[in-house]
Amino acid sequence: MESEATKGQYSIQLASKISGVGVHTIRAWEKRYQAVTPERNSSGRREYSDTDIERLTLLSELCTLGHSIGKIAGLPTPELKVLLEKLGKQAESVEMRRQDMDAARTPVNIEESLNNLLLALNNYKLDIISHEINKLKLTLSPRQLALDIISPLLRQVGESVMKGDFSISQEHALSAILKFHMGHMLFRGSAIKSTKPQRILICTPEGDYHEFGILQAALLCSHYNLPFFYLGPNLPVESLMDAYRSLEGNLILMGSTIIPENKSSDFINGVFETVAKSIGQGQLIIGGNSHIDKARLSKYRQAKAVDSMRQLDEILKSF
């Protein structure tokens, strides 16, 4: 029996996976700009063709490079390809994306995937690492990627570096690849509109440049369709509170991996207290290491420290 992919008829979820365009964005582009006009099956559900997916892919690439969707949505597909080539990029083959999706449909064996990534890193096969992560992005939800792949992978690599099995350069190379793919996932999901009341700001304190914890927190927010603003690492408390007021935030997620250089645990816990005092009826959630003084933080009902990404996941799931 022919599969949906073989027939070239895709649900909106599969069209989103293959093209890299969010489901909500696809619907908006259809309604406002008639960017694609999918067929409807007997149940009234959209069915996207290879041509539709090729257009969505091209439009997405061009928007990423600065074009306005309203100005390019009505252009014929050949003109979209020419525009992309003028910007120095080649249109990615839909067939290549289909091949990735076909491979990604195979149920993921988490242990095997982690072993493959570690083996590729051991042999400095960075292209294989990137390709494997890309397939996992197509198969796994942001939550699964954060909790089941990125967290254990970073932990194992960190332990291997400490034992001398991996070098610092290998760890840095892996970090760069992971940051790229995590950022790509977050950017792709940024157009999704949410009706949930949370407005979450995500950052680390000034002097803390460790970004993976807050990137994973952002992936969890994306998974639960929670509106968030990723402010990044090394954010002074004054700048954080200015952003909190300007963006009308009501929840701050802070990652705290280290005590900043030339500072003390008393200083960093003082930062947390300052934030807790300044957020009014909002909430503060801090994830990090043992230097967080939970007893000191417990004086503030709106503040909470979490010990793990899974504990944070349980909180975000409840919103």
Q: Can you give the residue range of the structural domain that contains 164?
A: 109-188
Kindly give the parts of the chain with pLDDT less than 70: 1-8, 89-106, 188-194
204 and 309 part of one domain: yes
Residue 226: CATH number of its domain: 3.40.50.280
The domain tally of the chain equals 3
Residue 114: CATH number of its domain: 1.10.1240.10
The 3-class secondary structure across 251-271, one letter per residue, is: EEEEEECCCCCCCCHHHHHHH
289 and 245 part of one domain: yes
The 3-class secondary structure across 191-229, one letter per residue, is: CCCCCCCCCEEEEEECCCCCCHHHHHHHHHHHHCCCCEE
72 and 139 part of one domain: no
Q: Does 295 fall in a domain?
A: yes
pLDDT at 117: 97
Handedness of CA 186, 188, 191, 196 (dihedral sign): negative
Alpha-carbon span 117 to 267, nearest angstrom: 38
Tokens of 57: 């892919």
Which position has the token pair 């034992």?
163
pLDDT at 251: 96
pLDDT at 90: 66
227 and 149 part of one domain: no
Residue 79: CATH number of its domain: 1.10.1660.10
232 and 268 part of one domain: yes
Q: What is the DSSP letter of 140?
A: S
Q: Does 120 fall in a domain?
A: yes
List, for residues 108-147, the tens digit of each pLDDT value: 899 999 999 999 999 999 999 998 998 888 778 889 999 9
Which of 36, 66, 101 is a domain's end point? 101
Residues β-bridged to residue 203: 232, 254
Q: Which helix (H) or strand (E) holds 15?
A: helix 12-19
97 and 113 part of one domain: no
139 and 213 part of one domain: no
pLDDT at 101: 56
pLDDT at 190: 55
Q: Which of 252, 256, 170 is nearest to 212 (CA)?
A: 256
Which of 188, 209, 228 is a domain's end point? 188
175 and 86 part of one domain: no
Q: Distance of CA 78 to CAs 30, 55, 68, 88, 315, Å? A: 19, 10, 18, 16, 47
pLDDT at 93: 54
Q: Does 195 fall in a domain?
A: no
Which of 68, 101, 134 is a domain's end point? 101
Q: Does 194 fall in a domain?
A: no
List, for residues 153-172, the tens digit of each pLDDT value: 999 999 999 999 999 999 99
CB 249 within 8 A of CB 175: no
Alpha-carbon span 68 to 275, nearest angstrom: 38
87 and 120 part of one domain: no
Q: Which of 51, 53, 73, 43 is nearest to 13 (CA)?
A: 53
pLDDT at 189: 56
In this prediction the pTM is 0.72
Q: Which of 178, 154, 152, 148 is nearest to 166 (CA)?
A: 154
Which residues are CB-neighbours of 104 under 8 A, at least 6 positions away?
17, 135, 136, 138, 139
pLDDT at 14: 81
pLDDT at 2: 38
Alpha-carbon span 319 to 317, nearest angstrom: 6
Q: Taking the CB of residue 265, how many other CB atoms lie within 10 A of it?
A: 14
